[in-house]
Amino acid sequence: MSGVELVVDSARWRRGLEAFAAATPGLVPVIKGNGYGFGRELLALESTSLGLSTIAVGTYAEVPGALATFDGDVMVLSPWRPFLTDVVLDERVIHTVGRVADVRDLAAATDGQARVLLEGETSMARHGLDRHELAGAVAALGELTVEGFAIHLPMAGNNLAEAESWAAVLETSQVETTTFYVSHLTSAELTTLRIKRPQLDIRPRIGTSLWLGDLGALSVRATVLDSHLVARGERVGYRQRPMPRDGTLLVVAGGTSHGIGLEAPKATAGVVQRGKSLAKGGLEAAGFSLSPFTIDGRQRWFAEPPHMQASMIFVPGTATVPAVGDSVDVAVRFTTATFDAFTLR
Ligand SMILES: *Cc1c(COP(=O)(O)O)cnc(C)c1O
């Protein structure tokens, strides 16, 4: 293969998934977007292998694929809204509602033949019912089946306290469910919440720490497409920037279309930051950015911003350069990465 390839040590990755699922009672795997780099279909199949009965997708656009590859229930994390044009009504779909008017509209639109989660508005402030709106939401339910109550917590913050306070609200509310779906609680926080609220069936919705919990099982390789010796001061690339030293310019597969980008724009770096860069004495001071490609054991510098499908990397003369056709390691953010090839080993 050539390009950017995700290589998965499947035995090790699956051991990690099994251990995670075994340690996480009530787990609802989240399968959305680019499928955390693996693709959503594979993750749905893995969820079946793990014996899980419900999966969560991000949007309605992701529901048809999920229903086709997974036999159990499919929960939609984004709330139902009356203006959405791709809503899927199916007995295996669980809708999220976060506005009193939406509860009423969904009940009317489906003749009450839908399964719903009521979502509470947390400090995330993304979607959800205020605690004072719960009674109104319950009154608007009609024949809708309530499958649970859900909260989505931020990644930073006192999540346990917020989850506990919502659990208390739920237990004293008229919402007739004891199933409490939560997002972004640690396993220790989940344990504490279960001890404090033994009447509730607490179900964590988790993507990243499940699918990407063992990064050691994953490697991303990029093909070296071309290689040129360059001299200090020689100008290369779209931007014709001078090379900082003698070395090699490598053209490596992987660019913006793979989700490979730059760090913060250099132009906005303040005086302090530039001072720090100068103190480090690195190429950063000269306006270069560190690339995610590792060559001869070290992360190397972009010779210029990544192109659509390839990047130009400067490797100083002192380093050993790979041959054209070899591949090198590249660090990616899996939730934004697109791969040319995928191999389960
Ligand atoms: C995306 C999402 C999750 C999963 O997030 P991870 O950080 O990938 O575990 C959970 N709950 C909601 C509501 C989400 O939108």
Tens-digit pLDDT string for the chain (345 aa) = 789 999 999 999 999 999 999 999 999 999 999 999 999 999 999 999 999 999 999 999 999 999 999 999 999 999 999 999 999 999 999 999 999 999 999 999 999 999 999 999 988 888 999 999 999 999 999 999 999 999 998 888 789 999 999 999 999 999 999 999 999 999 999 999 999 999 999 999 999 999 999 999 999 999 999 999 999 999 999 999 999 999 999 999 999 999 998 653 344 445 555 555 555 556 777 788 999 999 999 999 999 999 999 999 999 999 999 999 999 999 999 999 999 999 999
The CB of 182 under 6 Å from ligand 1? The reply is: no
In angstroms, the CA 250 to CA 153 distance is 43
Nearest to 89 by CA among 59, 108, 114: 114
The CB of 332 under 6 Å from ligand 1? The reply is: no
pLDDT in tens, 248-271: 999 999 999 999 986 533 444 455
CA of 191 to the centre of ligand 1 (A): 19
The CB of 205 under 6 Å from ligand 1? The reply is: yes
In angstroms, the CA 291 to CA 304 distance is 10
**What CATH architecture applies to the domain 31-211?**
Alpha-Beta Barrel (3.20)
Q: What is the reported pLDDT for 266?
A: 43
The CB of 35 under 6 Å from ligand 1? The reply is: no
Q: What is the reported pLDDT for 280?
A: 54
Atom number in ligand 1 closest to CA 206: 9
CA of 205 to the centre of ligand 1 (A): 6
pLDDT in tens, 326-345: 999 999 999 999 999 999 99
Within the chain, all domains assigned CATH 3.20.20.10 are found at 31-211
The CB of 120 under 6 Å from ligand 1? The reply is: no
Q: What is the reported pLDDT for 290?
A: 93
Using a cut of 0.85, tell me whether the model's pTM lies above it. Answer: yes
Within the chain, all domains assigned CATH 2.40.37.10 are found at 216-344
CA of 77 to the centre of ligand 1 (A): 8
CA of 79 to the centre of ligand 1 (A): 13
In angstroms, the CA 82 to CA 78 distance is 13
Taking CA atoms only, the protein residue closest to ligand 1 atom 5 is: 207
Strand 341-344 and strand 235-236: the pairing is unpaired
The CB of 183 under 6 Å from ligand 1? The reply is: yes
Q: Which CATH number fits domain 216-344: 2.60.40.1080, 2.40.110.20, 3.90.320.10, 2.40.37.10?
A: 2.40.37.10
CA of 291 to the centre of ligand 1 (A): 28
Nearest to 173 by CA among 203, 146, 142, 204: 146
Q: What is the reported pLDDT for 331?
A: 95
Q: What is the reported pLDDT for 262?
A: 63
Q: Which of 80, 126, 202, 205 to mutate to test the pocket of ligand 1 (most atoms within 8 A of CB)?
A: 205
In angstroms, the CA 12 to CA 117 distance is 35
Atom number in ligand 1 closest to CA 205: 10
Is the CB of residue 249 less than 8 Å from the CB of residue 227? yes
The CB of 206 under 6 Å from ligand 1? The reply is: yes
CA of 206 to the centre of ligand 1 (A): 6
